[in-house]
Amino acid sequence: MRQEGALGNDAGGSGVGEEPMSTPAQREQAKREEKLESMKEQIDDGSLTVRQMTDEEKAKFAPKNPPKEPRTPRRRRPPR
């Protein structure tokens, strides 16, 4: 007889009806899709408004460390 886990689910891992384990990237993608769906619902019901930032807001929330120019590759020393 199998024992059930604390939450009442089958802790045996029979493989029947179970979804395969997802990778961290897949979990993150699923979480992102849920968030986007939630945002779409909020936009549709009017509780969320999406707009462009004003110039004043862009200046206020500008990146703290602007991106640096890409480094040029070092030259190799000629063989001796």
The string of pLDDT tens digits covering residues 7-42 is 555 555 555 666 788 899 999 999 999 999 999 999
- Confidence class for position 78, pLDDT limits 50, 70, 90: confident
Give the count of beta carbons closer than 10 Å to the beta carbon of residue 42.
13
Q: Which residue has the tokens 């991106």?
A: 67
**Quick one: what percent of the chain has pLDDT higher than 90?**
49
Q: What is the CA radius of gyration of the chain?
A: 26
Tell me what pLDDT residue 33 has: 97
Tell me what pLDDT residue 53 has: 94
Rounded Cα–Cα distance for residues 62 and 69 (Å): 17
